[in-house]
């Protein structure tokens, strides 16, 4: 029993020593996410609270759909969900500092909501193509993960 404690303590100590070194070497943080401004975070939390009966201030995981390694908030398409939960996530689009949360979870609902966004908002043709390409890939990956 004592050897397990020594072994466990050694592993724990190694973790605490190597983790800061790992971070200093420029390795990506697997839990890194987009830093969203407080008013947008409040909007997303309100949406979760009203649509999913979630808590008022749930910690959210947010990632950029168009550029998964980009953690800077700006115009683009984002995916968010309650951290640690198995609930379905949601999608929102930022255009000129305004966040629009897309309705629905299945392909048809998401595409309809996305087309409504494109109709109501002015985007350059270049951005429309970029958004459509990224959104289509997101829906394809979502579908495959749900049907594997």
> Does residue 144 carry a pLDDT above 80?
yes
What pLDDT shows up at residue 51?
79
Cα gap 44→89, rounded to integer Å: 11
Q: How confident is the model at residue 1 (pLDDT cuts 50, 70, 90)?
A: low
* Half-sphere CA count of 9, side-chain side, radius 13 A: 6
Biggest CA-to-CA distance, the chain: 67
pTM score over 0.85:
no
In percent, how much of the chain has pLDDT > 70?
Answer: 75
Query: For the packed helices 125-146 and 107-120, what is the interaxial angle rounded to 10 degrees?
Result: 170
Domain range list for the chain? 1-30, 33-146
What pLDDT shows up at residue 27?
62
Mean pLDDT of the region 116-138:
93
What pLDDT shows up at residue 6?
46
Per-residue model confidence as pLDDT tens digits over 38-83 = 999 999 988 988 876 666 677 889 999 998 888 889 999 999 988 8
> Does residue 139 carry a pLDDT above 70?
yes
Residues 59/30, Cβ–Cβ less than 8 Å:
no
Give DSSP secondary structure letters for the chain: -HHHHHHHHHHHHHHHHHHHHHHHTTPPPTT------HHHHHHHHHHHHHHH---TT--EEEEESS-TT----SSEEEEEEETT--S--EEEEEETTEEEEEP-SSHHHHHHHHHHHHHHS---HHHHHHHHHHHHHHHHHHHHHH--
Cα gap 52→82, rounded to integer Å: 10
């Amino acid at each position: 029993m004592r050897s397990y404690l020594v072994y466990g303590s050694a592993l724990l100590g190694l973790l605490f020593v190597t983790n800061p070194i790992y971070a200093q070497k420029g390795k990506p943080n697997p839990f890194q996410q987009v830093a969203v401004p407080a008013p947008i975070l409040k909007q997303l939390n309100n949406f979760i609270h009203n649509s999913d009966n979630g808590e008022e201030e749930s910690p959210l995981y947010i990632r950029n759909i168009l550029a998964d390694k980009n953690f800077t908030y700006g115009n683009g398409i984002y995916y968010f969900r309650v951290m640690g939960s198995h609930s379905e996530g949601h999608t929102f689009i930022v255009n000129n500092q305004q966040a629009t949360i897309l309705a629905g979870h299945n392909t048809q609902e998401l595409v309809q909501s996305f087309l409504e966004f494109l109709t109501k908002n002015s985007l350059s043709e270049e951005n429309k193509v970029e958004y459509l390409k990224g959104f289509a890939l997101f829906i394809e990956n979502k579908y495959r993960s749900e049907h594997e």
